[in-house]
Amino acid sequence: MKIHWISFLFLLLSIRTTNAQKPITIDDIYAKFAFRTKSVPGFNFMKDGRHYSSLKDGGIKKFDITTGSLVETMF
């Protein structure tokens, strides 16, 4: 009898979650920008694709993406 109740509960929960989803529309992507990427504050990728800059200790510093080590202090 417990197995029937567990199966019934599982069925109810799965039906509830499938009803909560809505289809993605073109308007969601291009008009509402629902899926746009968000930037991380204080963290900017450089155009070379190998480094990023960050404001630390009152200066702009350049770091290597792969190691995270400081490459140079820019300002």
Domain span at residue 45 reads 2-73
| DSSP at 48 | T
Identify the DSSP state of 49: S
Quickly count: other Cβ atoms within 10 Å of residue 60's Cβ.
13
Provide the domain count of the chain: 1
Instruction: Identify the CA nearest to 52 among candidates 36, 34, 68, 35.
Output: 68
Residue 17 pLDDT > 60, yes or no? no
Find the mean pLDDT for residues 31-52: 84
- Asked whether 5 and 11 are in contact (CB, 8 A), the reply is no
pLDDT band at 33 (very low <50, low <70, confident <90, very high): confident
Taking 90 as the threshold, does the pLDDT of residue 51 lie above it?
A: yes
pTM for the full predicted model: 0.48
For residue 48, what pLDDT is reported? 92
**Alpha-helical runs (H) found in the chain:** 2-20, 26
pLDDT at 2: 66
